[in-house]
Amino acid sequence: MSPSHNPARLRNFIRSLAELLDSKPAESRILQEGGALLRQLIASDDWLPDACAQALPERYQQYLLHVDSAERFSIVSFVWGPGQATPIHDHTVWGLVGMLRGAEYAQAYKAGDDGCLRPDGAAVKLLPGMVEAVSPAVGDIHKVCNACPDQASVSIHVYGANIGAVRRSVYAEDGSSKPFISGYSNSQLPNIWDLSSELKNT
């Protein structure tokens, strides 16, 4: 895993996204301009704390990196061990997924006239630097899996809410659903706001 040398990248992303949301933009603008900001963030791999990039054998991990004080958005790192995958699920809010390390497949699903869920097009393979959007407006139900058979993959997700506290659903292919609240894998946030060590070196 790459060491965390530059937490300023994440701070700058947080500030820029908050400024965008301050203008109360339409969701389409959030996805477009927020997606561009996320691409800038994931263009470098020197800022994610190692503690938020650890794969565990039992299941994929969702590490909280930041929640806006008004819970307008949250940022998480998803870490996928080899062979790990989500169930089919929704989000209920806008979201942006940026690939940082490794690769993942995202398969969208859509309900047919009979209520059953079927793949909606081919699975998208996300490689480092790529960003994908989800939301009820553009497509909100999908399944994600690690595309690398022998290594962990890490993606950075931004959602329009405190995603770990959002009531969402997982689905079976017959269209039946069960509610869930994801929570987070970590109990402490990374301290990206202590500027003292950086200021001492200037």
Asked, for residue 60, whether it belongs to a domain, the answer is yes
Read off the CATH number of the domain in which 144 is found.
2.60.120.10
Asked, for residue 27, whether it belongs to a domain, the answer is no
Please tell me the predicted confidence (pLDDT) of residue 3: 45
**Domain total in the chain:** 1
Find the largest Cα–Cα distance for the chain: 64
91, 97 Cβ separation under 8 angstroms: no
Asked, for residue 20, whether it belongs to a domain, the answer is no
Asked, for residue 19, whether it belongs to a domain, the answer is no
Please tell me the predicted confidence (pLDDT) of residue 75: 98
Enter the pTM of the model: 0.94
Asked, for residue 73, whether it belongs to a domain, the answer is yes
Asked, for residue 112, whether it belongs to a domain, the answer is yes
Please tell me the predicted confidence (pLDDT) of residue 4: 52
Divide the 202 residues of the chain into consecutive groups of 10 and give the mean pLDDT of each group.
73 98 98 98 97 95 98 98 96 98 97 95 97 96 97 98 97 96 96 81 66
Q: Which residues form the domain of 150?
A: 51-182
